Amino acid sequence: MLGNNLSTLLALVSATQVAAVPSNCPRRHPPPPFNPICHVTQYTQIPAAVAACTHITLDNIRVPGNRTIDLSKLQRGAKVTFAGTTFWEYAAANYPFIIVSGTDIEITAAPFAVLNGNGPAWWDGLGSNGGRIKPNHFIEVKNVTGCSAIHDIYIKNYPVHCFSITNSVDLDVYRIRLDNAEGYAPNNVSNGLAAAHNSDGFGVASSKQVRIRDSVVVNQDDCVAVTSGDGVVVDNMWCNGSHGLSIGSVGGKSNNIVNNISFTNSIVLNAENGARIKSNSNTTGSISNILFKNIFLENISIYGIDVQQDYLNGGPTGKPTNGVKIQNITMQNIWGTATREGRNYYILCGEGSCSDFTFNNVHVTGGGKPSSCNFRTKGDFDCDGKFVS
């Protein structure tokens, strides 16, 4: 699934990136007094360490089933480092593996550390759509503020969704490796389907000034999905086996406003979709000021470029609705290939709900199904000559 020439693909990552997005977030508060390092080796020691220390190492922690590593009450300026192998034991329950909250905090890992989610114990080919009761999120990052960072972490075999980032401001997430490659193969309960499902890499909602960059995602659902928020930057991503780089789905949630989002300098391989914007049928909301730029696509099986306003989790309706307004969308320098089963381009807008789309130097080829675009864009894009009214 990873392809026969990984070194060439990694070279393409270097070739397409312009510059890593720096953290523009200065420390707003003086660093806290240095408390002695808490070196934690047992799950039961974690609450005391969080209460007492600003420098915490979690070393080879084995987490009991239906238990969470709770980092929601970190002191200002705290740093948490995962070391060795962190492993979650099985429980038939829906709970987060890790919760993170705080101000000016840093979450990272020591060299060669692994966070092993024990995904095969839960995988049944259905993800969050049924079957076994599963932990829906590996890590919930919520109410993180004040120039915080999560970086240099390797996570493998997470059960369903990995990162859920909500209600956070000024957060820099970088050099993360999410590896669910083992989930491509069927198991004895997945009825021939990939065992892992709904394994989104990064989900962002109701957050501002979040940067996700310089990371690798190997999974079975969205690589990065922004469902609400403002000022989110996604840069220099390497996505394999995913559903692509996505806005949405938008509509029908507590927050349905997406503004000022960019996806740049990234590679999407062996995915269902490349660059995607989706709004839910018969809902309301707003998607505006979105940029997809310098994106390489390869082996896309459904849509290379996709904007659709008929989305439902059970499947699109084919009849777009116009309650979610989509405006000021720019796609530039996007190229690559779709499979014979896929379409190069698909735009399905509701009546009067799309405006100011500018597409330039967008070239996806190879799709065996005809492209279809019911909204005419500005720029040199021609939808393979398949603009329809």
DSSP code of residue 369: B
Instruction: Say which residue the tokens 């559903």 belong to.
Output: 243
Bond into 249 cis (ω within 30)? yes
Q: How many CB atoms lie within 10 A of CB 116?
A: 15
- Residues 6+ positions from 354 with CB-CB distance below 8 Å: 307, 309, 326, 327, 329, 347, 375
User: Which secondary structure element, helix H or strand E, spans residue 11, and what is its range?
Assistant: helix 6-16
Instruction: Say which residue the tokens 């095969």 belong to.
Output: 120
Spatial distance between the Cα atoms of 106 and 98, rounded to a whole number of angstroms: 14
Residue 181 main-chain phi, psi, to 5 deg: -60, -35
Whether the CA torsion 276, 222, 247, 266 is positive or negative: it is negative
Name the nearest CA neighbour of 254 among 205, 287, 220.
Answer: 205
Would you say 382 and 346 are in contact if contact means Cβ atoms under 8 Å apart?
Answer: no
Residue 294 main-chain phi, psi, to 5 deg: 60, 65
Spatial distance between the Cα atoms of 56 and 160, rounded to a whole number of angstroms: 27
Spatial distance between the Cα atoms of 131 and 135, rounded to a whole number of angstroms: 12
Q: Give the residue numbers annotated as catalytic, written as ranges.
A: 243
Bond into 286 cis (ω within 30)? no
Instruction: Say which residue the tokens 């018969």 belong to.
Output: 282
Residue 105 C-beta-side C-alpha neighbours within 13 Å: 28
